[in-house]
Chains A and B, each alone.
Chain A
Amino acid sequence: ILNVEQSPQSLHVQEGDSTNFTCSFPSSNFYALHWYRWETAKSPEALFVMTLNGDEKKKGRISATLNTKEGYSYLYIKGSQPEDSATYLCASFSGGSNYKLTFGKGTLLTVNP
């Protein structure tokens, strides 16, 4: 995998549903994986930065896991709320460059009340 890929591209869930989405990234020369939450008309906001294989991080109802050997990360949202509606971006430092974040296209989550 040369690029950072995210799936699905968009997702509609009902309030209270739990959901998850995937980020695939180059596993060679991996250094760090970032997740950002981006609400319309606001700045992308960092959720997690993960570096170690097997890392699991949690912030409230949102958690993320990391598999650096196979090059994927999952983001989970438990009990989705309308305020979780946003685009979730993942980005990796890998491929031999220490200074460049390569972003996926994002997953647009819409939580219906």
Chain B
Amino acid sequence: EPEVTQTPSHQVTQMGQEVILRCVPISNHLYFYWYRQILGQKVEFLVSFYNNEISEKSEIFDDQFSVERPDGSNFTLKIRSTKLEDSAMYFCASSAVQTGGEQYFGPGTRLTVT
């Protein structure tokens, strides 16, 4: 069964460093998403992406964040200058349709900023 994959599973970085989190969505899906969950808190929407552009972004997704689909398979989230409060589990998801369809989640990348 096709699945969303994410690498790395755990990333430790120092404050101020850039990180790139990588995702490979399900191949025939058209809509891509990033979410994060800070320990003990809700899963929070960061950004959605369709047709090679951002469809929607949350107030969390400021200028420090960017997303890219550099080729036909990868979908990346870049954090330019990490802060301690960026420590969280980051989930990638994809869906075949927009609002009425289920989203398929990857296993997550745990980002720890020290």
Binding site for B on A (CB under 8 A): 31-32, 34, 36, 41-46, 49, 51, 89, 91, 93, 97-106
Contact = CB atoms under 8 A, between A and B. Distances in A.
Chain B interface size, under 10 / 10 to 19 / 20 to 34 / 35 or more: 20 to 34
Contacts of A51: 100
A45 B91 CA distance: 12
A100 B42 contact: no
Contacts of B4: 43
B104 A46 contact: yes
Majority secondary structure, A binding face: loop
Interface stretch (B13-21, B70-78, B105-113): B105-113
B55 interface: yes
Contacts of A32: 99-100
B56 interface: yes
A42 B89 CA distance: 12
Given A43-B4, A103-B42, A105-B42, A98 B105 contact: no
